[in-house]
Chain A
Amino acid sequence: MEPIVKTLFPFIVISVGIIAVFGGVMMIVAYTVLAERKVLGWIQGRIGPNRVGPWGLFQPFADLLKFILKEELIPDQSTRFIFYLAPLVALTCAFMPMIVYPFGPEIVGSFDFLPYGLGEGIKSLPLRVADLDVGVLYVLAITSVGVYGIALAGWSSNSKYSLMGGLRSSAQMISYELAMGASVIGVVMLAGSLSLGDIINAQINSTFRWFIIPQFIGFVVFLIAAFAETNRVPFDLPEAETELVAGFHTEYSALKFALFFMAEYVNMFTVSVMAVTLFLGGWYIPGLDYLARTVGMEWLFGVGTIGYALISHVGFLLKIFAFLFFYIWVRGTLPRFRFDQLMNFGWKFLLPVALANVILTVVVVFLVGRFW
């Protein structure tokens, strides 16, 4: 019994981590949808959903049930296999980056209480599934594969509107990926690492605590590119309902439509996490460790304790919710771009600004390293 448990232990830990992250993100996504409807209602002077449960809190589950029970329509002339594959690709690629996000600081302590001596040699519990050496690149790579979900959906539906939506969105995502990648380079240079955990640690040890201050241009470029990457207003050309019915998912119904819908919101969550981690210090709340020291309650929420991890995690979630609120706010405020404006903006303004930011950062990092 003991050796089996010992061999299986790492897999069990990782599986528990993955399930916890998956469940948590699904709940956040479900309630982002509800929050979007509520906040949009508030912005537009309506009430929003308020029938299912208190204040409409069970609305997401009612919606899910509706999606499961609805009739599934498959266009007669569609390319069947790819038609089924596309929503799976979209949602899988939306979820895959989750494993590298640091959701909180490490909990340092002894794990000797575990049976069979499993806790031997384990000194800390990190609040992430895996710390990849190339975390930032990994997230960018997986999001670039996510384009296929939309492109293939548009092609396989065998419908004009879907094809136009799919083509538009692939063109848009390829264009803005460049600006997004270039805007991240500045942060990577300041941190000297591609691992998300190292980037947060570099921010904690830096002069300004958060990279948004030295990398403000990069932050703004990242934010705009993130809106385009997730196909959100004002860049929601792929599903411009006034001209393309519903864009790439026109022919999708029932649960397959729900998968696309979920993928969009998971992608919103992903770019929010990236923005928070790269520019806003991730889970780090400035002054929390100092406060614990001055109050003399380091046993409760000093660095490395469970209390510190919990408070930091809540701070992390609050930062993400602020970003998600910003998304919804923009959707309620701004009109849509025209397609040629979108392309010109991406290639002729956003990318040059991002590259200029890279060069500026190189010069400053060099001068500071040389003369400070």
Chain B
Amino acid sequence: MVTALFYLLAGLAIACAISCVYHKNPLYSAVSLIGVFLSLACIYLTLSAPFIAVTQILVYAGAIMVLVIFVIMLLNLDEDKPLNSLTYLYGVGGGLGLLLIAQAIFVFYAVNTAGQESVDSTAAGKTLSIGLAMYTQYLLPVEIVGILLLMAIVGAMIMSRRIREPNQRKAEKAVE
């Protein structure tokens, strides 16, 4: 039952990923990418990790892709023109693809050679165990990620702020 579900969802994810790469229209690609995220979230659910599944939807499908779609809607890209004609990107993409395949093979190898570690299946994936692990065992990485995100927010604020000339400011004041 779970295996059948896994193959169904994995097939859906791969189909969405292919359509994401091959569609000419960027909005179709973005919608396909949302499909990938949703099928991945469903796979996490079948692996009894509801917290990760919901976070996947909330962060990737709900927040990040909304911004992507926003940008596509505002830019109003022309459908007929290809987005990029940079041929060297094929080589870069091929290299990265090979790297990913190598990584997948390594993961399979590592999982097969390493002994099965017993995990308490009632607690694993639950919110409580994730919270405890994050704030006890992995406190330092969490703090580092938090500071990184804070830096990103401050950086975005500085970059998007309009720097106004003194003359312009005076003119604006006069208008007011």
- Chain A interface (Cβ < 8 Å from any Cβ of B): 79, 81-82, 85, 132-134, 137-138, 140-142, 144-145, 147-148, 151-152, 154-155, 163, 166-167, 170-171, 174, 177, 193-194
Contact = CB atoms under 8 A, between A and B. Distances in A.
A155 B27 contact: yes
B153 interface: no
A163 B70 CA distance: 11
Contacts of B61: 141, 144-145
Interface stretch (B2-10, B47-55, B137-145): B47-55
B62 interface: yes
B15 to A, nearest CB: 15
B50 A141 contact: no
B71 to A, nearest CB: 11
Task: Please provide the 6 A-B residue pairs with the shortest distance between their CB atoms, ordered closest to farther.
Answer: A144-B62, A141-B58, A141-B57, A137-B54, A134-B54, A155-B73
B127 interface: yes
Contacts, number: 72
B156 to A, nearest CB: 14
A148 B54 CA distance: 17
B12 interface: no
B69 interface: yes
A134 B57 contact: no
B31 interface: yes
A137 B27 CA distance: 27
A240 B62 CA distance: 25
Nearest to B61: A145
B70 A141 contact: no
A151 B57 contact: no
A81 B34 CA distance: 15
B70 A170 contact: yes
Nearest to A140: B58
Contacts of A142: 57
A82 B161 CA distance: 35
Contacts of B31: 82, 85, 148, 152
B63 A132 contact: no
Q: Interface SS of chain B: helix, strand, loop or mixed?
A: helix
A77 to B, nearest CB: 11
B89 to A, nearest CB: 26
Interface of B: 25, 27-28, 31, 34, 38, 50-51, 54-55, 57-58, 61-63, 66, 69-70, 73-74, 126-127
Given A82-B27, A82-B31, A167-B73, A151 B54 contact: no
A145 B63 CA distance: 9
A141 B50 CA distance: 12
A145 B57 contact: yes
Contacts of A144: 57-58, 61-63, 66
A144 B37 CA distance: 14
27 contacts: A81-B28, A82-B31, A85-B31, A132-B50, A133-B126, A134-B50, A134-B51, A137-B55, A137-B58, A138-B54, A140-B58, A141-B55, A141-B57, A141-B62, A144-B62, A144-B63, A145-B61, A148-B34, A148-B69, A154-B73, A155-B27, A155-B69, A167-B73, A170-B66, A170-B69, A177-B62, A194-B127
A138 B53 CA distance: 9
Contacts of B28: 81-82
A167 B58 contact: no
Contact of B73 (A132, A151, A193): A151
A148 B57 contact: no
A154 B74 CA distance: 12
B127 A134 contact: yes
Given A134-B127, A144-B58, A147-B66, A79 B51 contact: no
B73 A163 contact: yes
Which of B31, B73, B126 has the most chain A CB atoms closer than 10 A to its own CB? B73
B62 A137 contact: no
A194 to B, nearest CB: 5
Contacts of A163: 73
